[in-house]
Amino acid sequence: MQNISCGSTKREGRDNAKTHLKNYVFEMNYGMQHYTTEDIQQMFQELECIGSLGPENAKMKMIEVHARWRDKSYNWWFKKWYKKYHRKPTLNS
């Protein structure tokens, strides 16, 4: 999740990395048996939002608070999408 959201302290090159990661996921058909292309695009958008909120030049206390929030957000995100189709294949598989 951290890689796909491109949530890192290194901001340079994020757009290029995101493009490559998305292309890889679609080329390998990851998740296509459970989700539509639109669903996967939405997943990327949501993860990008979580990943983009990292505090820059923050003190350690703020980074720790953010890390706890980020982990809870990833957990919520995973449960949301895992339960969406109850893991049954979609019609387009």
| Average pLDDT over all residues of the chain | 83
Residue 8 has a pLDDT of 58
Q: What does the pLDDT average to over 8-32? A: 82
Give the domain ranges of the chain.
2-84
Amino acid identity at 90: T
Model pTM score: 0.75
Q: What does the pLDDT average to over 32-39? A: 91
The answer, yes or no, to whether residue 3 has pLDDT greater than 70, is no
Q: What does the pLDDT average to over 35-61? A: 89
| Alpha carbon distance 20, 24 (integer Å) | 6
Amino acid identity at 62: M
